[in-house]
Amino acid sequence: MKFFVDTADVEAIAELNELGMVDGVTTNPSLILKSGRDILEVTREICGIVSGPVSAEVVALKADDMIAEGRKLAKIADNIAVKVPLTWDGLKACKVLTGEGNMVNVTLCFSVNQALLAAKAGATFVSPFIGRLDDINADGMELIADIRRIYDNYGFETRILAASIRSVNHMSQAALIGADVATAPPKVIKAMANHPLTDKGLDGFLKDWAKTGQKIL
């Protein structure tokens, strides 16, 4: 499973990228607001850090306007994935933009039917929002599993990008189910390294090492 980092924080992206933990980046208007920077400027900088897809989201609601915005965003760099919402207009924009050779990430997917439409429209990625489904007592992972089954049944090439990741459990479950990509905040990716037994074992080793009175350096 590929890791995308869900942020517009260039320092966090650079740190994870150096460790080989970043296969791509997703941004959205909320993350751009949090960064406090111009969308074109920060997106261009991110594209210079990572070689994988960088999702940049349109904000228009009508297909023609989405297409115009998408074309402008796509000019930022060759690795831009234009992000459009999973609405009927968003699907129209997806069809046109993918037809022009652009990567398109269809976002805010909450049902199998929506995912099926995104694949038919030629989406590069479809982004089911796991955490937001969990918030309303629905099963986000069940949606990922159902999309995986349908895409495999019919050979759709659209990649499943598990989004709205809230925890390390979301990451492992998405991988087990067969999501192609998971996008998560930097803190969640870093937290995947944590385990209480690792901490306990390390503490024991260090206490025993101190008793030897030795040094390596």
Q: Which of 62, 72, 83, 190 is catalytic?
A: 83
Contact, 58 vs 66, CB < 8 A?
A: yes
Termini Cα distance of the chain = 38
Nearest to 192 by CA among 215, 172, 165, 207: 172
Radius of gyration of the chain (CA): 20
Closest CA to 148 of 156, 108, 130, 84: 156
Q: How many helices (H) and strands (E) does the chain have?
A: 11, 8
What is d(CA 59, CA 28) in angstroms, rounded to the nearest whole number? Answer: 9
CA separation for the pair 115, 41 (Å, rounded): 31
Q: Would you call 72 a catalytic residue per the annotation?
A: no
Cα dihedral 34, 39, 41, 46 in deg (nearest 10): 70
Is-contact 6 35, C-beta < 8 A? no
Active centre residues (catalytic): 83
